[in-house]
Amino acid sequence: MSEDGLSLDREEFVSLAEDADRPAVVRTTVDLDVDVEPLAAYAALADASDAAHTFLLESGEKLASSDPDGAFAPADEERHARYSFVGYDPAAAVTLDPDGTAVDVFDARYADLVDPGGGDVLDRLRDALSDVERVNFPATDRQQLDGGLVGFLAYDAVYDLHLDEVGVERPDSRMPDAQFVLTTKTLAFDHAADAVSLVCTPLVRPGDDAGTVHDALVREAELVRGVLDDATVDPGGFVREQETAGSRETYEAAVERGKEHVLDGDSYQVVLSRARELVGEVDPRGLYAALRDINPSPYMYLLEYGDRSVVGASPETLVSVRGDEVVSNPLAGTCPRGASPVEDRRLAGELLADEKERAEHTMLVDLARNDVRRVSEPGSVRVAEFMTVLKYSHVQHIESTVTGRLAEGTDAFDATRAAFPMGTLSGAPKIRAMEIIDALETSSRGLYGGGVGYFSWDGDADIAIVIRTALIDHAPDEHVASEGTTADRITVRAGAGIVADSDPTSEYEETERKMDGVLAALDRIEQPADATPPPEVSR
């Protein structure tokens, strides 16, 4: 067996593993001399592994920014568009819902480690990353996924985290509160270095033959090289059967009621959302390919988790933790893209000059500062960037960056709890805004407004807010599917921040703009009803 490209040879690996006095994950990387695109690599590895839970996480855009004078400047390209991560053969999957925790173990060596205990959904997730020793996790100047938990936290987890204690009854929902896989083999693309590597975090227990574990790692690298040598992807399409959407009148009436709550002093702002549901046969990989092309974003994700897939292009961070630094990126204030760079600059300037948009954004930055302060060392919280306009395929947004230094005894799960849900998806004050959302929205949010991302073995985390996302339910549903089919249900949702002077028509149109990217991706891959259906993917 060839050890070409390994960061640890057999002797080094064995020595490090034997130095641990408890179960340890030993980080080992293998440089792969392959020329392959992330989506093709994902498709090849997912199909070869025949795993029920696979993921692709990417940064898909180099952003441009504008200052208050409207002059565009190059963005910090190191901030986004650096890495892609492919997960294809998880050790376990953890599903958390109001009825308890379900653990599916795919590698028996991890069975007793993946043991969520009690507490809220984030406490149980923390328990799933049991207390093992982390070996050979070097400090870097860049956040990256080195194995751990990858998945989603649904918005409906707010009932467990916040609303149950104030007596708000949880609505019916098809979504679990969270679903994460424990990944120990991750294909990592470093686009800046034009390098592809396999990042392995195998478990070694005291008394194990560490050399045998290393041998298995070398064999895995050889298998991956072989799969990637012939990697191709043939994305499928979308055959539409029917589509439903909440009426404009219903949403605008909810906006009026939201304004009444603001005027009555119940809240400063409340974010009200609405959904479109489409029924048909869709290939998540085809949708991802189209969305990646149409709406490249800082957070791109494709999760195929059993009978549920998540395809998204989110511009916004819920929370990011690297080492002891916690980062929040409130994004609030929206205007359309222009037909030219000149019009882009004009619209961005108008956005920054809009008193309503500035006031809303400033309020949400203050809320983010409070969230970060709850888990940070006193005096460490600062606003690193304030009111930068970022442009995306269909809209422009105002973004700020809030940072802090994690207090002793706190971790990424505490930081996520403090930030969740982001004020830009709830309003302020959060608890009262969430109560109003529960009363005024006509259906469960499910995943919308939650988070997608990872909690790494080394304590880092990077969680995107679930917006600009399609949730695909592959399970047959006789209530929506045409008779005689097992159609997919695709849900796309968007919201708008409601304040005292909100115009219901404008807020409705904002939700339409925010859904445009995902709907345009579906339109691009749509096929006639009599076309060959999308390819079957084992789940």
So what's the pLDDT on residue 271?
97
Confidence class for position 73, pLDDT limits 50, 70, 90: very low
Annotation says 424 is catalytic: yes
Torsion of CA 8, 11, 13, 17, to 10 degrees: -160
Confidence class for position 74, pLDDT limits 50, 70, 90: very low
Annotation says 486 is catalytic: no
* DSSP single-letter state for residue 532: P
Contacts for 247 with CB less than 8 Å, ≥ 6 apart? none
Mean pLDDT lowest among 32-46, 104-118, 455-469 = 104-118
Instruction: State the CB neighbour count (10 A cutoff) for residue 253.
Output: 13
Residue whose entry in the numeric block shows the structure tokens 């995107």: 464
Active-site option among 236, 427, 497, 517 = 497
So what's the pLDDT on residue 75?
40
User: What does the pLDDT look like over 507-517, one tens digit per residue?
Assistant: 999 999 999 99
Burial label, 366 (beta-carbon count in 10 A; 0-12, 13-18, 19+): middle
Nearest CA among 186, 166, 112 for reference residue 429: 166
Annotation says 397 is catalytic: yes
Listed in sequence order, the DSSP H helices in 20-88 are: 38-49
User: What is the CATH code of the structural domain delimited by 10-324+406-525?
Assistant: 3.60.120.10
Rounded alpha-carbon distances, angstroms, from residue 7 to 2, 13, 40, 105: 13, 9, 25, 28
H/E stretch holding 272 reads strand 269-282
The encoded tokens of residue 190 equal: 């470093």
So what's the pLDDT on residue 481?
44
The encoded tokens of residue 309 equal: 């897939």
What span, in angstroms and rounded, lies between the C-alpha atoms of 303 and 283?
12
In the chain, DSSP finds a helix count (H) and a strand count (E) of 13, 29
Active-site option among 424, 469, 491, 511 = 424
| Amino acid (one-letter) located at 124 | R
Mean pLDDT value across residues 319-325? 94
Active-site option among 261, 397, 405, 474 = 397
User: What does the pLDDT look like over 16-31, one tens digit per residue?
Assistant: 999 988 999 999 999 9
Active-site option among 448, 469, 491, 517 = 448
Active-site option among 417, 468, 489, 493 = 468
